C-alpha cells in the first residue's frame, strides 16, 4: 500500500480501512479471535457500514474483549458475563436505526447466558451475534465450556463427559432466520458469512470456531487448530456481492444457489459436496446432527430464511428510532391528565 | 387491646372476612365508594394471600372525617363470612364491636361482650338469585345492603357506586341491586343501628380520586416520556407495567402511524430486565423496569455496572416481605439498604421514597429527570401498601416543568469541541458529558466498560485512574442532594424527634396525635423522601437528644444509612421496628414508641 493517503483504497463511503480499525488486541498471539476481529474490520469496510451507526455489545471473556479491537469509531459496551443479549435488546428497542454487533463466547452465551441467548433468538432482535467459540474458558485459565465435546481433554488431562450444546442447532430450533458456522482459519468463508450477516435484517447467528492457542490447542483437544482444520467440512464456497461490486467480483462456475438480502446484495453458495438447501429447516437440523455424530464440523450458511418480524415489530413501536422523539411526542398533554383524573374520580 | 379510639359518627373501621376468589371485591369497593360519595374520607386495605382462590382474605374500610386513613388496628364492625377465620376474627375485636355474622357460623359467637347480627346469607342469596352459581357472588351484595342500613350509607350513593363499578352493564347491575335491596330490607326488619356508629353526610371528598400507587407510578412514567420498559412479572409490582401498557395503548401512540412510542417487553427474568434498561439508557432512551425485592437482588450486578458506566435508568421497587417465596402479598420496607448500595464494590444510588399517591406519580416522573441529569440508576421505593391498596387522593398534578435530559453532546456540539472525554469533569460538578450511539460527524464514539478506564474512556488499570473516577462519582452524587425531594418537617416545639418515610406517613401522623392525647410528646416529625440525605436531615437529627426512626423492617435500615452518613449523630437514633407485614397502623407505631420511651426512662 502506498504511503500517500490519497492512494489508499476507499470503500463506497470514501473511508479507508483505517476508519474501521480498533485498539490493539491484548489477546494471545495466534488467537483465533484476532482472525475473526480482522475479518469483521474487513467485512464492515468492504460493505461500507457507517461506523457511527454501529453499536458493539459484548459480555465478559476473551471474546468479549475483542469489541475494543475493531471499529473504534463505533460505540462499544462491554457489559456483564453472559448478559450482553438483554443490553443489546435494550439498544434495539431504543434505537432501531443502529446496527449491532454482539460478540460473545461459548461460556458467555451457552452457560451463564443461555437463557438470554435463547430468548434473544426467540424475539428476533436484529443484530449480528458472533460466538467466538473455542470450547473452553480461557480468561479463567482453561475450564470446560458448554461446547466442549465429549471426550475432549483439558491440558492437565481431565476429559469432558457432558454432552455439548450446539449453538447452531439450538438457534435453528428457536426460529433464528440466519445461522452460520465458520472457522477463524477460513478467512474467505468467515468474511463472506460476516458480510451476509451484516446485510440480514433480523438476528444473524455466527458460530465462529476459534481455537484457543493457550488452553485448548493440545493433542487431546477436539478443538485445537489442527483438530478443527481436520474436522471442518465446508458445505459450499461462499461469495458475497453487493450491488456496487457487481463488476469487480468474479464467481467461479459450479453448481450454486443464491441467497439475496433486502439491500440488493447476495450470497452465492457454490456446492463443495452434495447440494445443500439452506432454506430447509428440517434438513439443516438433520445435517448438523449427522455431522456432529460423525465428528465433523459443518461450516457455511446452515440456515437462512427471509426476514420475519423483529422485536420492534413484535412490541409494536414506530418505524423510526424512539431515541429521536422529543418531549412533545412522548409527554401527554395536560388535557390527557385531566381526562385520566376524571376517570379515577372516587364518585 | 388496641390503642386506637372507639367508633364515632364518621370515624370507624369495618372489617370484612371472606375467602379470596369469592367475588367480594366489587361489594367492598361499593361500600368504600359510597361512603366517600357521602363526603366522608375513607380508604380500603385488602389483606390477601398469595393464592388464586379459597384462602382467607380481609378487606378493611376505614371512614375518617379527620382524615386518618392508615389501617386501623381497631375494627368496630366485622362482617364474618369465613368459617376458617371466624374464631380468630371475633377474638381480635374490641368489646362492644358489632358483628355481622353468617348464621351458619353462629356457633362461634361465644363472646358476650360483642353485639351480633346473625344473617341467613344463604337464604337471602337464594331469594335474590335462582342461579346457584351466582348465589355466592350475590351474597356479597347482601352484606352491602346490611351495612348500608346499619351505617346509614346513602342508597343513591350505593347504587351510583355499583353502577360505576359494573361499567353500566344493565343485567349485572340489576341482579346486584336486587340483592343489595334484599339485604337492606332484611336489615331494616331485623336490626337496629348502633347509636354513635355510622355516617353523616360531609363535604370533604369532592373532586378526590381513588387510585392505587402502582397506577400512579405507571402514570408518572407515561408523563415522563418513558420509551423503553422491560420487566418480569412479580407481585406486588406487576400492575405497574399492566397499567403502563394500558395507558400507553391510549396515550402513547404516534398520531400518524398509530404505532406505540413506548416499547414494553416482558423479559426472561429480572437480570435481563435490568440489562434492557442499561442498553436502552445507554442508547439515549428513558428506560425503566418495575420489580420487587427478589428482582432487586437479581439486578444487582447490572445496577452496579450502571453506577460505574454512568447509564441512566429508573428502577421501581414495590417492596414486599422477603425472601423469595416468603410473604409476597405482605408489605415491607425491607429493601432500603440494599437499594441504596446495590452492586458489588463501592456504589451509592439515588433512592426516592414516595409516601402518597401524588408522590408515587411525581417521584416516578422526577426519577427520569434525575437518572438522566446524574447519569445513574435511580430507585423509586414504593411498597405493597402504596402500590396495591386503594388510596383516596387529590387529583394528580400535571408536571409542567420540561424534561431534564442531562448533559448530552450532539453532532453540532461535538464539532465545536477539540478534546472531549466521556468521563472528564469539565464543569466541576462531577457530571461528565455523554454522547449517544448513532451521533454523526465521526466524533463522540467511546467504549463503555466498568472501572478499568481513564477519563477518556480508554482501558486503564492505573490506580490513580480508578480512584479518581470513584471519587468523582461520589462528588456527582453529592450534588444530587440539593435537587432531590427535600424532607418534610412538622415541628411542634417537641423535645423528641420522630423520623419516618414512605407508606408509614399516615400511621405515624395519627400515632403522634394519639400519643399527644395521652400526654406524651409533643414530637417533631420529619418525613424523609430521598437518599442520599440532604443536610436538613442531619440538622433535624442533630436538634434532638433522641430521634425515633419508624421503619417497616427489623434492622433499622434507614437508621443504619443515617448512622453511616452522620456517624456523630448515631447515638441519638433509636429504631422502631414495625413487623406485622400489614399496612402500618397507628396502633403499632404507638406501641413501639411507648415501649422505646419507657425503656429510655427505666435505663
- Residue A247, pLDDT above cutoff 80: no
Q: Cα separation of B316 and B352, whole Å? A: 10
The reply to whether CATH 3.40.50.300 applies to domain B488-602 is no
Tell me what the pLDDT averaged over chain B comes to: 96
Do the chains contact at A317 and B278, CB–CB below 8 Å?
A: no
Which residues partner with B77 through β-bridges?
B14, B98
Write the pLDDT tens digit of every residue in A125-151.
999 999 999 999 998 989 999 999 999
Q: Which residues contact A42 (CB under 8 A, 6 or more apart)?
A: A17, A191
Cell (9 digits) for B179: 340483592
B578 vs A59: CA distance, rounded Å: 42
Residue with cell 477518556: B456
Cβ distance of B447 and A115 shorter than 8 Å: no
Confidence (pTM): 0.97
Q: Which tops the pLDDT comparison, A2 or B377?
A: B377
Confidence check: pLDDT of B1 > 50 = no
Is it the case that residue A2 has pLDDT exceeding 50?
A: no
- Cβ <8 Å between A119 and B280: no
pLDDT at residue B122, rounded to an integer: 93
Residue with cell 460473545: A104
Domains and CATH numbers, chain A: 24-324 (3.40.50.970)
Among the residue ranges A4-8, A47-51, A239-243, the one predicted with the least confidence is A4-8
Nearest chain B CA: its distance from A103 CA (Å):
14
Q: Is the pLDDT of residue B603 over 60?
A: no
What average pLDDT does this structure show over B250-278? Answer: 98
B460 pLDDT above the threshold of 70: yes
> A159: distance to nearest CA of chain B, Å?
33
Fold of B211-393: Rossmann fold (3.40.50)
DSSP β-bridge partners for residue B265: B230
pLDDT at A4 over 60: no
pLDDT at residue A205 in the model: 98
Strand, helix or coil at B246? helix
What span, in angstroms and rounded, lies between the C-alpha atoms of B235 and B294?
10
Q: Which residue has the higher pLDDT, B252 or B20?
A: B252
Q: How far apart are CA B247 and CA B219, in angstroms?
A: 8
Separation of alpha carbons A198 and A242, rounded Å: 12
The gap from C-alpha A320 to its chain's centroid, in whole angstroms, comes to: 24
Q: Which of A43-47, A178-182, B288-292, B516-520 has the lowest mean pLDDT?
A: B516-520
Residue of B nearest to A60 (CA): B449
The residue among B211, B437, B458, B460 with the most chain A CBs within 10 A of its CB, best to mutate, is B437
Taking each continuous run of H as one helix and of E as one strand, the counts in chain A are: 12, 13
The three-class DSSP label of residue B57 is strand
- CATH 3.40.920.10 maps onto chain B at 11-190
* Structural contact between residues B590 and B511, judged by C-beta atoms closer than 8 angstroms: yes
Q: Taking a C-beta distance cutoff of 8 angstroms, is the pair B147, B14 a contact? A: yes
φ, ψ for residue B386, nearest 5 deg: -65, -45
Q: Provide CATH 3.40.50.920 ranges for chain B.
A: 488-602
Contact check, Cβ <8 Å, A346/B264: no
Residue A252 has pLDDT above 70, yes or no: no
pLDDT, tens only, B377-386: 999 999 999 9
Domain with CATH 3.40.50.970 in chain B: 211-393
Whether the CA torsion A89, A91, A95, A99 is positive or negative: it is negative
How does residue B5 score in pLDDT terms, banded at 50, 70 and 90? confident
Residue B227: closest C-alpha in chain A = A322
CA B164 to chain centre: 25
Pinpoint the alpha helices (H) of A210-332: 225-231, 281-293, 311-315, 327-330
H-helix or E-strand spanning residue B398 = none
Distance of CA A115 to the CA centre of its chain: 17
Q: Do A93 and B265 touch (CB under 8 A)?
A: yes
The domain defined by B11-190 carries CATH number 3.30.2420.10: no
Spatial neighbors of B89 by CB under 8 A, at least 6 apart, are B15, B17, B58, B78, B80, B82
Closest CA to A238 of A173, A181, A305, A192: A192
Q: With the C-alpha atoms ordered B203, B206, B210, B216, is the resulting torsion angle positive or negative?
A: negative
CB spacing of B36 vs A346 below 8 angstroms: yes
0.85 surpassed by complex ipTM: yes
| pLDDT of A248 above 90 | no
Write out the DSSP string of B115-159.
Answer: EEEEE-HHHHHHHH-S-HHHHHHHHHHHHHHHHHHHHT--HHHHH
Mean pLDDT, residues B331-351 taken together? 97
Amino acid at each position: 500500500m502506498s504511503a500517500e493517503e490519497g492512494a489508499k483504497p476507499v470503500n463506497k463511503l470514501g473511508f479507508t480501512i483505517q476508519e474501521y480499525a480498533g485498539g490493539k488486541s491484548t489477546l494471545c498471539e495466534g488467537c483465533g479471535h484476532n482472525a475473526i476481529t480482522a475479518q469483521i474490520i474487513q467485512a464492515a469496510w468492504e460493505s461500507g457500514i457507517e461506523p457511527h451507526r454501529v453499536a458493539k455489545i459484548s459480555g465478559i471473556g476473551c471474546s468479549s474483549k475483542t469489541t475494543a479491537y475493531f471499529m473504534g469509531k463505533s460505540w462499544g459496551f462491554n457489559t456483564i458475563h453472559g448478559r450482553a443479549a438483554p443490553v443489546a435488546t435494550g439498544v434495539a428497542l431504543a434505537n432501531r436505526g443502529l446496527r449491532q454487533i454482539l460478540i460473545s463466547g461459548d461460556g458467555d452465551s451457552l452457560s451463564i447466558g443461555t437463557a438470554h441467548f435463547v430468548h434473544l433468538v426467540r424475539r428476533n432482535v436484529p443484530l449480528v451475534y458472533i460466538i467466538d467459540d473455542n470450547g473452553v474458558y480461557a480468561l479463567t485459565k482453561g475450564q470446560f465450556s458448554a461446547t466442549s465435546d465429549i471426550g475432549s481433554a483439558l491440558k492437565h488431562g481431565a476429559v469432558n463427559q457432558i454432552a455439548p450444546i450446539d449453538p447452531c442447532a439450538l438457534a435453528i430450533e428457536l426460529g433464528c432466520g440466519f445461522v452460520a458456522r465458520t472457522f477463524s482459519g477460513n478467512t474467505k468463508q468467515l468474511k463472506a458469512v460476516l458480510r451476509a450477516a451484516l446485510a440480514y435484517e433480523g438476528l444473524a447467528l455466527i458460530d465462529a470456531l476459534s481455537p484457543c492457542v493457550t488452553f485448548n490447542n493440545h493433542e487431546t483437544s477436539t478443538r485445537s487448530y489442527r483438530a478443527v482444520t481436520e474436522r471442518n467440512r465446508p458445505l459450499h464456497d461462499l461469495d458475497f456481492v453487493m450491488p456496487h461490486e457487481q463488476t469487480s467480483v468474479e464467481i467461479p462456475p459450479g453448481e450454486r444457489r443464491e441467497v439475496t438480502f433486502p439491500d440488493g446484495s447476495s450470497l452465492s453458495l457454490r456446492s463443495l459436496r452434495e447440494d445443500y438447501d439452506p432454506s430447509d429447516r428440517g434438513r439443516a437440523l438433520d445435517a448438523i446432527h449427522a455431522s456432529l455424530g460423525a465428528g465433523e464440523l459443518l461450516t457455511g450458511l446452515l440456515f437462512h430464511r427471509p426476514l420475519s418480524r423483529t422485536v420492534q415489530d413484535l412490541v409494536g413501536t414506530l418505524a423510526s428510532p424512539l431515541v429521536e422523539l422529543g418531549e412533545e411526542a412522548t409527554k401527554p398533554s395536560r388535557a390527557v391528565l385531566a381526562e385520566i383524573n376524571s376517570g379515577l374520580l372516587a364518585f | 387491646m388496641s390503642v386506637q379510639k372507639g367508633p364515632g359518627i364518621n370515624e370507624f373501621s369495618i372489617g370484612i372476612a371472606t375467602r379470596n376468589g369469592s367475588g367480594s371485591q366489587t361489594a367492598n369497593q361499593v361500600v368504600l365508594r359510597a361512603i366517600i360519595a357521602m363526603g366522608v374520607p375513607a380508604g380500603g386495605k385488602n389483606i390477601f394471600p398469595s393464592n388464586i382462590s379459597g384462602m382467607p382474605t380481609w378487606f378493611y374500610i376505614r371512614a375518617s372525617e379527620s382524615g386518618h386513613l392508615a389501617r386501623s388496628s381497631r375494627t368496630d364492625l366485622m362482617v364474618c363470612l369465613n368459617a376458617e377465620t371466624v374464631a380468630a376474627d371475633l377474638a381480635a375485636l374490641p368489646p362492644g364491636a358489632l358483628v355481622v355474622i353468617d348464621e351458619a357460623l353462629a356457633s362461634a359467637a361465644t363472646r358476650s361482650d360483642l353485639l351480633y347480627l346473625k344473617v341467613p346469607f344463604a337464604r337471602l342469596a337464594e331469594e335474590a338469585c335462582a342461579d346457584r352459581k351466582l348465589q355466592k357472588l350475590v351474597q356479597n351484595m347482601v352484606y352491602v345492603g346490611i351495612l348500608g342500613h346499619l351505617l346509614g350509607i346513602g342508597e343513591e350513593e350505593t347504587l351510583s357506586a355499583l353502577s360505576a363499578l359494573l361499567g353500566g352493564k344493565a343485567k349485572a347491575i340489576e341482579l346486584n341491586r336486587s340483592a343489595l335491596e334484599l339485604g337492606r330490607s332484611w336489615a331494616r326488619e331485623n336490626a337496629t343501628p348502633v347509636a354513635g356508629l355510622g355516617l353523616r353526610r360531609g363535604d370533604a371528598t369532592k373532586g378526590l380520586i381513588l387510585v392505587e400507587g402502582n397506577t400512579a407510578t405507571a402514570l408518572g412514567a407515561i408523563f415522563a416520556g418513558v420509551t423503553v420498559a422491560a420487566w418480569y412479572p412479580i407481585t406486588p409490582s406487576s400492575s405497574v407495567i399492566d397499567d403502563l401498557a394500558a395507558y400507553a395503548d391510549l396515550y402513547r401512540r404516534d398520531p400518524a402511524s398509530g404505532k406505540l412510542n413506548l416499547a414494553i417487553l416482558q423479559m426472561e427474568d429480572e437480570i435481563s430486565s435490568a440489562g434492557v434498561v442499561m442498553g436502552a439508557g445507554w442508547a439515549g432512551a428513558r428506560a425503566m423496569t418495575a420489580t420487587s425485592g427478589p428482582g432487586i437482588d437479581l439486578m444487582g450486578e447490572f445496577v452496579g455496572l450502571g453506577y460505574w458506566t454512568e447509564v441512566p435508568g429508573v428502577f421501581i421497587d414495590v417492596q414486599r416481605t422477603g425472601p423469595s417465596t416468603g410473604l409476597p402479598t405482605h408489605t415491607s420496607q425491607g429493601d432500603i439498604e440494599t437499594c441504596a448500595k446495590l452492586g458489588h464494590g463501592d456504589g451509592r444510588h439515588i433512592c426516592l421514597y414516595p409516601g402518597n399517591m401524588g408522590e408515587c406519580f411525581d417521584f416516578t416522573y422526577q426519577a427520569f429527570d434525575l437518572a438522566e441529569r446524574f447519569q445513574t440508576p435511580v430507585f423509586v421505593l414504593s411498597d405493597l401498601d402504596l402500590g396495591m391498596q386503594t388510596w383516596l387522593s387529590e387529583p394528580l398534578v400535571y408536571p409542567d416543568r420540561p424534561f431534564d435530559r442531562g448533559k448530552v453532546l450532539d453532532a453540532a456540539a461535538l464539532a465545536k469541541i477539540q478534546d472531549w472525554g466521556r468521563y472528564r469533569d469539565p464543569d466541576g460538578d462531577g457530571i461528565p458529558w455523554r454522547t449517544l450511539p448513532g451521533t454523526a460527524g465521526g466524533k463522540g464514539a467511546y467504549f463503555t466498560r466498568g472501572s478499568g478506564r481513564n477519563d477518556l474512556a480508554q482501558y486503564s488499570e492505573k490506580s490513580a485512574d480508578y480512584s479518581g473516577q470513584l471519587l468523582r462519582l461520589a462528588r456527582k452524587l453529592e450534588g444530587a442532594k440539593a435537587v432531590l425531594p427535600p424532607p418534610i418537617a412538622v415541628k411542634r416545639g417537641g423535645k423528641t424527634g420522630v423520623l419516618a418515610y414512605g407508606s408509614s406517613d399516615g400511621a405515624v401522623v395519627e400515632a403522634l396525635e394519639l400519643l399527644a392525647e395521652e400526654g406524651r410528646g409533643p414530637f417533631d416529625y420529619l418525613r424523609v423522601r430521598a437518599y442520599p440525605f440532604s443536610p436538613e436531615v442531619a440538622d433535624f437529627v442533630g436538634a434532638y437528644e433522641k430521634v425515633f426512626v419508624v421503619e417497616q423492617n427489623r434492622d433499622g435500615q434507614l437508621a443504619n444509612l443515617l448512622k453511616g452518613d452522620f456517624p456523630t449523630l448515631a447515638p441519638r437514633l433509636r429504631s422502631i421496628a414495625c413487623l406485622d407485614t400489614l399496612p402500618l397502623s397507628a396502633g403499632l407505631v404507638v406501641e413501639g414508641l411507648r415501649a422505646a420511651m419507657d425503656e429510655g426512662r427505666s435505663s
